Amino acid sequence: MHSFEYQTYDISYKINGTGPVLLLIHGFLEDHTIFKEISMHFQKDYKIIEIDLPGHGLSKTINQPITMDQISHIIGALIEKLQLKTVTIIGHSLGAYVGLATIRNFPSLVNGICIFHATANNDTEEKKINRNRAIELVEQNQSRFLSSFIPNLFAKENVQQYQSEILALMERSQSIASSSIIRIIEAMRDRADERKTLKDFKGNKHYIIGKEDPVVACTDLRAQASETDASYTILENTGHMGFIEAKEAVIISLEKFLEKN
């Protein structure tokens, strides 16, 4: 792992492989390790950069409010630090929100984006209320919040099958400070609507959609992909965690996406 400082943030990242650059951005309560198999598969043909977002993994705790735009500037600073001309972003959930904000703020640095179990919409009022409830739960009992939140990311029929993976995700997320969890929930709640950003983006754009995703509805994402001129793959029997629930199908979808670059 490497690290760099941007303003008050100490950010960890990893580099493997050579070739065109793939920037892998994990989701909420995750870290760069979720992409282990994807990274190993593609690093023979690509330079793979895996980042731990602020407050996650080996990156330091967030102790002040942070916005999606600020996180995108961290991504921009890393791309410039590594003297990269352009990158293709693969962003899971929160990672896709960060990727879309990066396209808006640094359009010349991104040549493609895979929106992996995420939406370009901002939060509805109902979703914002649910984010606020989540913040209250974290403040009351972080462990209880995690034990209810993480299993619900999987398709219902997959929860029992992936108990060991769920327990591993819960164990890793326990190390995330409650202040970091709260600040990231706030950033997701207050993020911008990026549908126009994606529609106007001239690079390669692709959605990976879980048919049984409990977080973002498959039908909504399919319509959004069409509206923004993006290609898409729908993963059968899959919730919000395709890198666990549909490993092989995700690899195949990414290969097709990257062929267009």
Where are the alpha helices (H) located in 87-194, listed in sequence order?
Answer: 94-105, 125-140, 142-149, 163-173, 178-189
Task: Report the share of the chain in percent with pLDDT over 90.
Answer: 98
Task: Report the share of the chain in percent with pLDDT over 70.
Answer: 100
For 43-89, how does the pLDDT look when each residue is reduced to its tens digit (9 = 90+)?
999 999 999 999 999 999 999 999 999 999 999 999 999 999 999 99
Instruction: Decide if 174 contacts 135 (C-beta within 8 A).
Output: no
Q: Count up the domains in the chain and report the number.
A: 1
How does the average pLDDT of the chain come out, rounded? 97
Across the range 204-226, mean pLDDT stands at 97
Largest CA distance in the chain: 47
DSSP labels, 46-65: SEEEEE--TTSTTSPPP-S-
CATH value at residue 144? 3.40.50.1820
* Residue 11 confidence (pLDDT): 97
pTM over 0.85: yes
* Residue 260 confidence (pLDDT): 86
Instruction: Quickly state the pLDDT bin for 143 (edges 50, 70, 90).
Output: very high
Instruction: Quickly state the pLDDT bin for 22 (edges 50, 70, 90).
Output: very high
For 163-214, how does the pLDDT look when each residue is reduced to its tens digit (9 = 90+)?
999 999 999 999 999 999 999 999 999 999 999 999 999 999 999 999 999 9
Which contiguous run of DSSP H or E holds residue 6?
Answer: strand 2-6
* Residue 16 confidence (pLDDT): 95
pLDDT > 90? residue 222: yes
Instruction: Quickly state the pLDDT bin for 261 (edges 50, 70, 90).
Output: confident
* Residue 176 confidence (pLDDT): 97
End-to-end CA distance of the chain: 27
User: Measured between alpha carbons, how far is residue 63 from residues 72, 113, 186, 216 in Å?
Assistant: 18, 29, 13, 29
Across the range 9-38, mean pLDDT stands at 97
* Residue 256 confidence (pLDDT): 96
Domain that holds residue 17: 2-259
* Residue 102 confidence (pLDDT): 98
